[in-house]
A and B are shown apart, each in its own frame.
Chain A
Amino acid sequence: MATSTYLSNPGLVEVGGVNLTDQCNAATMTVTYDQLEETTFGSLARTYVKGLETNECTLTLFNSYATAETYATLLALVGTQTTVKIKPGTGQESATNPIMVLSNTFLQALPVANMTLGELSTIDVTFVGGTFSQDVTP
């Protein structure tokens, strides 16, 4: 059985036009559609069609309060809509290395401090909603 594995090492993690790749160690972008039931009398199984998109992107970022770093980037975005981009690999964008774009996505909450003795400070931020698209043109 042929299998392939993929090393998670994104070429780009960008939030609001700011490249945060070197501060991010986990990223999940999920495209979800509402599931609308279309089953009718006489059907033998339930069937569904898609409704509205409800997309989500969660990033784990190392915290930094320095100028032009994580905190400065996200503080300006909390409570607003922004754009998040993730590119799986370091090469040029293409059909096999698309930039995944979540536009007009909303950052509802920002953990402004998350500190544990003896550990590097990280925060998890979740962007909700917005429109998903792919950019494959270099």
Chain B
Amino acid sequence: MKYVVVSPRVGVPGQPYDIDAAQARGINIAGLIAGGFIARVEESTPTKPKTPKVKRNTKE
């Protein structure tokens, strides 16, 4: 699970938010999410690009 900064009050918007370091400093992560300061983003796994289908010439 990844978190990003939403509000400039906690960092640079769009940058990842290090929740492990924040929790070590005693910061209430649930409060930051509820207040709209940071947001959780789902990490998507890359999918294989589809190769275009090649039409075979069947008239030979």
Do A and B come together as binding partners? Answer: yes
Q: Which chain A residues have a beta carbon within 8 Å of chain B's beta carbons?
A: 16-20, 67-68, 72-73, 75-77, 80-83, 103-104
**Taking each of B7, B31, B36, B37, which has the highest tally of chain A beta carbons within 10 Å of its own beta carbon?**
B31
Contacts A19-B10, A20-B9; is A68 near B26 (CB within 8 Å)? no
By the criterion of a CB under 8 Å from any partner CB, how many residues of chain B are at the interface?
17
Q: How far is the CA of A16 from the CA of B34 in the complex (A)?
A: 13
A97 to B27, CA, bound (A): 23
Taking CB atoms, residues of chain B closer than 8 Å to A80 are 28
Query: How many contacts A-B (CB < 8 Å)?
Result: 56
Contact check, B26 vs A103: say whether CB atoms are below 8 A apart: yes
Report whether over half of chain B's contact residues are helix, strand or loop; otherwise say mixed.
loop
Q: How far is the CA of A73 from the CA of B30 in the complex (A)?
A: 11
For residue B10, which residues in chain A have a CB less than 8 angstroms away from its CB? 17-19
Chain B, range 23-45, C-beta contacts under 8 Å to A:
25-28, 30-32, 34-37
Which of B9, B25, B34: most chain A Cβ within 10 A?
B9
The 8 Å CB contact of B36, one of A19, A72, A77, is A72
Contact present for B31 and A16 (CB under 8 Å)? yes
Chain B interface (Cβ within 8 Å of chain A)?
Answer: 6-10, 22, 25-28, 30-32, 34-37
Contact A76-B32, Cβ < 8 Å, known A18-B9, A68-B7, A68-B37:
yes
Question: Which are the 9 A-B pairs with shortest beta-carbon distances?
Answer: A76-B31, A72-B35, A68-B7, A17-B27, A67-B36, A68-B36, A19-B9, A18-B9, A68-B37
